[in-house]
């Protein structure tokens, strides 16, 4: 089955379901591959799930259909009045919910300026792979006395409430935050409109050789210290988003809803650099 019919069938099955759906069971049925491993199913379906924001994969590897109706009032907010929260997470791996958050940062933007910063290391409750430590510089010793995500979940939710969430490769951050928040509260529903600075930059600044955060920051001469650490990446993303906001306003984009539509119009398939923990 090609990707578009499979995407349609996946959406149809999820909207018709009367409760959580096991990802592996659903995938084997859709793919007509009863012996496919959970890893194979996840690898095939994850790119499709990224196109269905209402489909939320929980820590129990079950899909829940969570309509985004609560996000509509925020989506219709004028850009000049919206509150944006730029988020970045560092993790123990590239896949959620298996991987865990090791660091989080939130940068709040209101009326065109940065107004708040929040950052915390997070004890993931599992060893950090050496390759991840080499990438981020975050060691097991650094997180040993850090709070578990459950201890900061309320603070994170408070900051995300009534906000438009922005991230560089937003699908990655959203997956991990959804997994962590669902572990704390099984009733958690992601309703925040979400904007991706990778997709926006592709639309507004076409032709760059790379859309990694570091490459874009260098191109636009945006300071980017502490690369692959949540506070540094979140701040650089916030500065990038402020530049993009100015361009969007100049082009006549007046609402969050309009920007979201502009962002996804004619979206091309992700390149390898846009996925995983490569920032």
**Alpha-carbon distance 67 to 167, whole Å?**
21
**Alpha-carbon distance 226 to 224, whole Å?**
7
The secondary structure of 146-196 as a DSSP string is SPBHHHHHHHHHHHHTT-EEEETTHHHHHHHHHHHHHHH-TT------EEE
Calculate the alpha carbon distances from 248 to 190, 194, 196, 202, 237 in Å: 25, 16, 14, 13, 16
> Going by C-beta distance under 8 Å and a sequence separation of 6 or more, which residues neighbour residue 276?
94, 172
Tokens of 178: 């959804």
In the annotation, is 224 catalytic? no
**Alpha-carbon distance 49 to 168, whole Å?**
18
> Going by C-beta distance under 8 Å and a sequence separation of 6 or more, which residues neighbour residue 252?
none
**Alpha-carbon distance 80 to 256, whole Å?**
10
The secondary structure of 76-130 as a DSSP string is TSBTTT-EEEEEEEEESSSSTTTS-EEEEEEEEEETTEEEEEEEEE-B-SSPPPH
Calculate the alpha carbon distances from 279 to 139, 216, 228, 274 in Å: 19, 10, 7, 8
Instruction: Tell me which of 8, 168, 228, 270 is the catalytic residue.
Output: 228
DSSP category for residue 65: E
Catalytic positions, written as ranges: 228
């Amino acid at each position: 089955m090609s990707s578009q019919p499979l995407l349609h069938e996946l959406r149809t099955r999820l909207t018709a379901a009367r409760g959580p759906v096991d990802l592996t069971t659903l995938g084997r049925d859709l793919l007509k591959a009863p012996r496919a491993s959970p890893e194979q199913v996840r690898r095939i379906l994850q790119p499709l799930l990224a196109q269905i924001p209402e489909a939320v994969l929980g820590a129990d590897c079950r899909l829940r259909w969570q309509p985004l109706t609560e996000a509509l009032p925020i989506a219709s907010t004028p850009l000049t009045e919206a509150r944006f929260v730029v988020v970045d997470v560092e993790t123990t791996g590239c896949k959620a919910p298996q991987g865990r958050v090791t660091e989080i940062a939130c940068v709040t933007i209101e009326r065109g300026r940065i107004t708040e910063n929040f950052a915390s290391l997070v004890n993931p409750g599992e060893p950090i792979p050496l390759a991840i430590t080499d990438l981020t510089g975050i060691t097991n010793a650094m997180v040993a006395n850090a709070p578990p995500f459950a201890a900061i979940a309320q603070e994170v939710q408070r900051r995300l409430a009534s906000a438009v969430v922005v991230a560089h490769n937003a699908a990655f951050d959203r997956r991990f935050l959804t997994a962590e928040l669902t572990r704390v509260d099984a009733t958690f529903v992601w309703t925040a409109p979400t904007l991706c600075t990778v997709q926006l930059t592709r639309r507004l600044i076409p032709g760059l050789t790379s859309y990694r955060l570091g490459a874009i920051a260098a191109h636009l001469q945006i300071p980017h210290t502490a690369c692959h650490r949540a506070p540094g990446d979140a701040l650089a993303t916030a500065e990038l988003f402020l530049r993009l906001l100015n361009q969007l306003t100049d082009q006549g984009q007046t609402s969050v809803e309009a920007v979201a539509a502009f962002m996804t119009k004619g979206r091309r398939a992700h390149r390898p650099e846009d996925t995983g923990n490569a920032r």
